[in-house]
């Protein structure tokens, strides 16, 4: 019989441990995970990238809901383990669920340290630790102007950079007079400060916070020296403390963290701790690389595999602020008996320092150029002796030869972690090359996740790849649409057409995908390309679609869904409004919202209510979730407006009725304005139509999202029929030539507007494109109706949308 394993905490360290355990001994345990956050395991490190606008929440998910289901893991997400009965061996959650265990693992991470300042409980005072904090900051930036970050360490500076990107004014308050004092020496710290000031950050150094000002919401921060700064948002990034209370309450030995031995066992038998909550030989780590090392040891222990136990880790730091390259590792401060080699180049703003103790590299700081970071980190870990030739490490030997990265790769042990963000070892990378046939960094990333986090290890991954395959073979390899292939989008589509490939499996097999199952990037892309090329032959592969498309509704952050019925042109009727109101009441919809695209959004719908709601609404799907035509926004136009020159409402409704349900590479938004006053904001849409005297102007490739782009004029036409014809031809040309997941604005810039105009110039070409789009449009069906009318589909839908055993 299987043993029962319960893990408290669904974060990076814990889930990495579970992954390793499953690899070593997949059948040993029935696994239950209790996670307080209502999300699957995500990459906390990447929250800085989300805040800075370089990634979105979906990009940072490490293990999606399907992973838990596929591995038979019972996940109680959004529940906090509240009580442990160590006698009966049960854990009970705050929602009353009890789980019994044979082995229990604490992976509760850390809590952000909040300075106990008077007023710290005011609205707008937050930490930077999880998705919720990130969302609060993004939301605050929409309504407020001035942010203050307390803490000039790694986290504080990354938060500050993100807030600057969100167009807030940012002051960083720090108690010391040099930033990142625990990771940088004074020189690097001052260089960093100068660079961040250049980027727009303002520093208030040697300031001690006294109290938070304001009534309900924060209005400022007062300092001990009597001065103050205004603030609409205060982010405290002053440190973390291991989350140990539950362990302490359960009678487990706790110091700063939960005390563990070399096998991650706590003071109680069969109870373990891993990650930031654990304290090993007096150290509670706050970076992921050591936590992954701990996870690997614990996995061996619970899988029954011998190991020498965890011996502690050397850590390195990299700041994830764009335009600033900073790295440090080991003991980089000058200490008695140590020697340092320094290089400073004020022209290019580069500073490097390597510290030696008895000939061995014990620490390094790099600013401006961090290309040597992997090599130096390896040297610190390997303990290679450079006595008498220390300068070679930074400057090369008299012959100009530095120890090559290749030599260092050769010297690395197999279990050394290369990708700190994802805990990937050198051996795992080598295995992906030798056994899975990976021949590019992209493929290795797809196979192992290495270099998929902050990207700092990319040079080392490249070096391992080069050392395994040889320089020539690596240089010859180009990056493909994802890590599973080296083929570009055009090559894949061409092969689909040439070889008449009609399923993703066929494509992957015939084109020799490195990963035969594909990945989250290529699976939906292939499904789209196949549907675009063979609209009548290709059977939609639901499992390849992204979660919102599989659910035909938008999943919200609390796990509920939103339902947006189609309202053509934004024009509704009292009867439809009554119907929507009745449905909203019947299903206790907590929020009814008018969207920016003039639709009605019913938010907070339980997954099991979706088919019922769709049936009761008896309206077509508004496709608010899909890579498809979303909305056609219209102004009232000549129907009521005294300025209107054309009937924009009719034009909008005609467009929406014609092109609804069409699969496109990315979402497509349209708008029609009845005169050049442009009340429907048609010139920031993927395609916008603006009425003029005697005709219409068609604008394309606009975007009102994160990268705002004004649309370009494509053509002026006279009749409504011509608007429909040009729109059809334009959309089909986009469908046939864009990369999957590429908005029209990016696509048009990539291929060039002149190319687009040329492709649509002749009536003959437009007709051919329209013929192809009409063929596709003739095949589309409303998904809600199909599900409502088919019990089997309805059942399958339930299974697909429910994150399996996940309790959300």
Which positions lie near ligand SF4, rule CB under 6 A?
Answer: 635-637, 641, 643-644, 648, 673-675, 677-679
Q: Which pair of structure tokens corresponds to residue 289?
A: 């690389």
Question: Is residue 35 close enough to count as binding ligand FAD by CB under 6 A?
Answer: yes
DSSP string covering 222-291, please? EETTS-EEE-SEEEE-S-EEE--HHHHHTT--BSSSEEE-TT-B-SSTTEEE-STTEEETTB---SHHHH
Choose between 284 and 756: whose C-beta lies nearer to ligand FAD.
Answer: 284
Our CB check for ligand FAD shows the closer of 295 and 637 to be: 295
CB 716 within 8 A of CB 691: no
Site string for ligand FAD, 222-251 (x = CB under 6 A): ---------------------x--x-----
Give the nearest distance from C-beta 689 to ligand SF4 in angstroms: 11
Question: 273 or 632: whose CB is closer to ligand FAD?
Answer: 273
- Residue with smaller CB distance to ligand FAD, 290 or 783: 290
Q: Does 45 bind ligand FAD (CB under 6 A)?
A: yes
What is residue 167's three-state secondary structure? coil
How far apart CA 39 and CA 558 sit, in angstroms, is 8
Question: Could you tell me the smallest distance in angstroms from the CB atom of residue 94 to ligand FAD?
Answer: 8
Task: Name the minimum Å distance from CB 633 to ligand SF4.
Answer: 11
725 lies in the site for ligand FAD, by CB under 6 A: no
Q: Rule CB under 6 A: is residue 287 a binding residue for ligand FAD?
A: yes
> If contact means CB under 5 to 8 A according to the sort of partner, which of ligand SF4, ligand FAD, none does residue 675 touch?
ligand SF4
String marking each residue 48-77 x if it binds ligand FAD according to CB under 6 A: x-----------------------------
E strands of 289-446, at which residues? 316-318, 326-330, 338-345, 350-357, 360-367, 417-419, 424-425
* Of the residues 52, 454, 632, 759, which one makes contact with ligand FAD according to CB under 6 A: 454
* Cβ proximity to ligand SF4, 626 vs 644, nearer residue: 644
**Residue 677 binds which of ligand FAD, ligand SF4, none (CB < 5-8 A, kind-dependent):** ligand SF4
**Strand partners of residue 260:** 280
Token pair, residue 216, equals 């309900």
Alpha-carbon gap, residue 152 to 175, rounded angstroms: 8
Residue among 5, 21, 81, 140 that touches ligand FAD (CB under 6 A):
81
Smallest distance from the beta carbon of 446 to ligand FAD, in angstroms? 22
Q: How far apart are CA 652 and CA 257, in angstroms?
A: 61
Cα 99 from Cα 117, distance rounded (Å): 39
**Near ligand FAD by CB under 6 A: residue from 108, 219, 621, 683:** 108
Residue 109 in contact with ligand FAD, rule: CB under 6 A:
yes
Structure tokens at 170: 């940012």
With residue 539 as reference, give the H or E element that holds it.
none
Distance CA 476, CA 472 (A): 6
Give the binding range for ligand FAD (CB under 6 A) out of 6-14, 306-314, 460-468, 703-711: 6-14
Compute the distance between CA of residue 510 and CA of residue 651 in angstroms, rounded to an integer. Answer: 45
Q: Is 19 in the site for ligand FAD (CB under 6 A)?
A: no
- In sequence order, the 6+-apart residues with CB closer than 8 A to the CB of 158 are 48, 51, 52, 128, 319, 320, 321
Classify 747 as helix, strand or coil: helix
Q: How far apart are CA 721 and CA 140, in angstroms?
A: 45
Nearest distance in Å: CB 206, ligand FAD: 25
Q: Can you tell me the distance from the alpha carbon of 767 to that of 15, in angstroms, rounded to the nearest whole number?
A: 54
Q: Is 99 one of the binding residues for ligand FAD (CB under 6 A)?
A: no
When CB distances are held under 5 to 8 angstroms depending on the partner's kind, the choice from ligand FAD, ligand SF4, none that residue 9 binds is ligand FAD
Tokens encoding 296: 């690997």
Q: Please say whether the beta carbons of 799 and 542 come within 8 A.
A: no
Cβ nearer to ligand FAD, comparing 170 with 289: 289
Residue with tokens 């720090």: 174
Q: Report if residue 107 touches ligand FAD, rule: CB under 6 A.
A: yes
Q: Does residue 276 belong to the site contacting ligand FAD (CB under 6 A)?
A: yes
Under rule CB under 6 A, residue 279 binds ligand FAD? no
Closest to ligand SF4 by CB, 168 vs 690, is 690
Distance of CA 92 to the CA centre of its chain: 31
Which CB atom, from 58 or from 639, has the smaller least distance to ligand FAD?
58
At 787, list the tokens.
């599900």
3 state SS of 438: coil
**DSSP conformation class of 178:** S
User: Of 196 and 522, which has the nearer Cβ to ligand FAD?
Assistant: 196
Sign of dihedral through CA atoms 519, 520, 525, 528?
positive
Q: How far apart are CB 648 and ligand SF4 at their closest, in Å?
A: 6
Mutual angle of helices 426-434 and 458-469, in 10-degree steps: 50
Q: Which stretch binds ligand FAD (CB under 6 A): 35-43, 189-197, 431-439, 557-565?
A: 35-43
Nearer CB in complex with ligand FAD: 160/605: 160
The minimum distance between CB 132 and ligand FAD, in angstroms, equals 10
What tokens were used for 307? Answer: 């190991």
SS3 of 352, please? strand
Q: How far is the CB of 677 from ligand SF4 (least distance, A)?
A: 4
Q: Name the one range near ligand FAD by CB under 6 A: 31-39, 299-307, 496-504, 664-672.
A: 31-39
* 179-218 positions binding ligand FAD, by CB under 6 A: none
Minimum distance between the CB of residue 680 and ligand SF4, rounded to whole angstroms? 6
Give me 11's structure tokens: 């974060």
Task: Please select the residue that binds ligand FAD; options are 31, 52, 125, 155, rule is CB under 6 A.
Answer: 155
Q: Which residue is nearest to ligand FAD (CB)?
A: 11
**Are the beta carbons of 699 and 688 closer than 8 angstroms?**
yes
Binding mask 392-421 for ligand FAD (x = CB under 6 A): ----------------------------x-
**Partner from ligand SF4, ligand FAD, none binding residue 665, C-beta < 5-8 Å depending on class:** none
Euclidean distance between CA atoms 276 and 254, whole angstroms: 13
> CA–CA separation, 527 vs 542, rounded Å?
9
Q: 5, 7, 12, 284: which one contacts ligand FAD (CB under 6 A)?
A: 12
Rounded distance between C-alpha atoms, residue 701 and residue 711, angstroms: 5
Radius of gyration of the chain (CA): 29
Residue 674 contact among ligand SF4, ligand FAD, none, beta carbon within 5 to 8 Å by kind: ligand SF4
739 binds, among ligand FAD, ligand SF4, none (CB under 5 to 8 A by kind): none
Dihedral angle over CA of 560, 565, 570, 571, nearest 10: -140
Which of the stretches 3-11, 58-66, 432-440, 582-590 binds ligand FAD when contact is defined by CB under 6 A?
3-11
147, 271 Cβ separation under 8 angstroms: no
Binding at 109: pick from ligand SF4, ligand FAD, none (beta carbon under 5-8 Å per type): ligand FAD
Contact set with ligand FAD (CB under 6 A): 8-14, 34-37, 44-45, 47-48, 80-81, 107-110, 128-129, 155, 158, 243, 246, 275-276, 286-289, 291, 320, 420, 454
């Amino acid at each position: 019989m299987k043993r029962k394993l319960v893990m408290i905490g669904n974060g990076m360290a814990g889930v990495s441990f579970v992954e390793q355990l499953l690899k070593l001994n997949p059948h040993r345990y029935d696994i239950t995970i209790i996670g307080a956050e209502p999300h699957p395991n995500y990459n906390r490190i990447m929250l800085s990238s989300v805040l800075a606008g370089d990634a979105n929440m979906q990009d940072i998910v490490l293990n999606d809901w399907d992973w838990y289901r596929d591995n038979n893991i019972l996940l109680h997400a959004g529940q906090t383990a509240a009580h442990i009965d160590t006698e009966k061996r049960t854990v009970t959650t705050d929602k009353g669920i009890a789980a019994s265990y044979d082995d229990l693992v604490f992976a509760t991470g850390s809590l952000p340290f909040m300075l106990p300042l008077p007023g710290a409980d005011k609205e707008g005072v937050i930490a930077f630790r999880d998705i919720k904090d990130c969302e609060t900051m993004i939301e605050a930036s929409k309504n407020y102007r001035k942010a203050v970050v307390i803490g000039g360490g790694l986290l504080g500076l990354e938060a500050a950079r993100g807030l600057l990107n969100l167009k807030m004014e940012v002051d960083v308050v720090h108690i010391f007079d040099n930033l990142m004092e625990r990771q940088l020496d004074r020189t690097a710290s001052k260089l960093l400060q100068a660079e961040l000031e250049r980027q727009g950050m303002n520093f208030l150094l040697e300031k001690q916070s006294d109290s938070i000002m304001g009534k309900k919401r924060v209005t400022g921060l007062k300092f001990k020296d009597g001065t103050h700064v205004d603030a609409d948002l205060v982010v405290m990034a002053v440190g973390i403390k291991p989350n140990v209370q539950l362990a302490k309450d359960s009678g487990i030995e706790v110091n700063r963290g939960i005390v563990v031995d070399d096998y991650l066992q706590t003071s109680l038998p069969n109870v373990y701790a891993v990650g930031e909550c654990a304290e090993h030989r007096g150290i509670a780590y706050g970076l992921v690389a050591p936590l992954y090392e701990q996870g690997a040891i614990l996995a061996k222990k619970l899988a029954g595999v011998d190991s020498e136990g965890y011996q502690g880790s050397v850590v390195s730091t990299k700041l994830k602020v764009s335009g600033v390259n900073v790295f440090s590792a080991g003991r980089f401060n000058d200490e008695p008996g140590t020697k340092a080699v320094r290089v400073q180049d004020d022209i290019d703003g580069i500073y490097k320092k390597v510290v030696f103790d008895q000939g061995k590299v014990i620490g390094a700081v790099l600013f401006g150029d961090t290309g040597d970071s992997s090599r130096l980190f390896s040297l610190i870990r390997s303990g290679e002796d450079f006595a008498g030739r220390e300068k070679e490490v930074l400057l090369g030997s008299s012959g100009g030869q530095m120890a090559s990265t290749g030599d260092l790769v050769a010297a690395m042990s197999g279990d050394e972690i290369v990708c700190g963000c994802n805990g990937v070892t050198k051996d795992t990378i080598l295995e992906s090359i030798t056994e899975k046939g990976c021949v590019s960094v992209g493929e290795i990333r797809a196979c192992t996740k290495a270099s998929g986090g902050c990207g700092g290890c990319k040079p080392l991954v490249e070096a391992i790849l080069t050392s395994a395959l040889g320089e020539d073979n690596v240089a010859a390899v180009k990056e493909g649409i994802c890590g599973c292939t080296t083929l570009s989008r055009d090559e894949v589509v061409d092969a689909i057409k040439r070889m008449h490939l009609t399923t993703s499996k066929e494509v992957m097999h015939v084109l020799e995908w490195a990963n035969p199952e594909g990945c989250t990037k290529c699976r939906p892309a292939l499904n789209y390309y196949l549907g675009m090329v063979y609209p009548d032959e290709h059977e939609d592969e639901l499992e390849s679609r992204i979660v919102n498309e599989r659910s035909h509704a938008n999943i919200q952050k609390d796990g509920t869904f939103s339902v947006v019925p189609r309202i053509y042109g934004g024009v509704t009727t009292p009867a439809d409004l009554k119907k929507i109101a009745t449905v909203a009441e019947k299903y206790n919809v907590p929020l009814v919202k008018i969207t920016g695209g003039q639709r009605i959004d019913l938010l907070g719908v339980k997954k099991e209510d979706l088919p019922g709601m769709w049936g009761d609404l008896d309206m077509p799907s508004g496709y608010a979730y899909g890579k498809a035509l979303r909305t056609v926004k219209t102004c009232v136009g000549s129907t009521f407006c005294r300025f209107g020159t054309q009937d924009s409402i009719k034009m909008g409704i005609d467009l929406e009725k014609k092109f609804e349900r069409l699969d496109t590479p990315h979402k497509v938004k349209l708008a029609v304005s009845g005169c050049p006053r442009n009340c429907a904001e048609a010139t920031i849409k993927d395609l916008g139509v603006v009425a003029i005297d005697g005709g219409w102007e068609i604008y394309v490739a606009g975007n009102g999202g994160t990268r705002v782009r004004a649309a370009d004029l494509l053509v002026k036409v006279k009749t409504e029929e011509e608007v429909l014809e040009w729109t059809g031809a334009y959309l089909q040309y986009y469908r046939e030539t864009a990369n999957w997941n590429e908005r029209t604005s990016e696509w048009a810039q990539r291929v060039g507007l002149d190319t687009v105009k040329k492709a649509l110039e002749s009536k003959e070409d437009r007709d051919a494109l329209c013929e192809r789009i009409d063929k596709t449009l003739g095949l589309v069906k409303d998904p809600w109706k199909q599900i409502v009318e088919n019990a089997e589909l309805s059942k399958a839908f339930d299974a697909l949308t429910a994150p399996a055993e996940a309790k959300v």
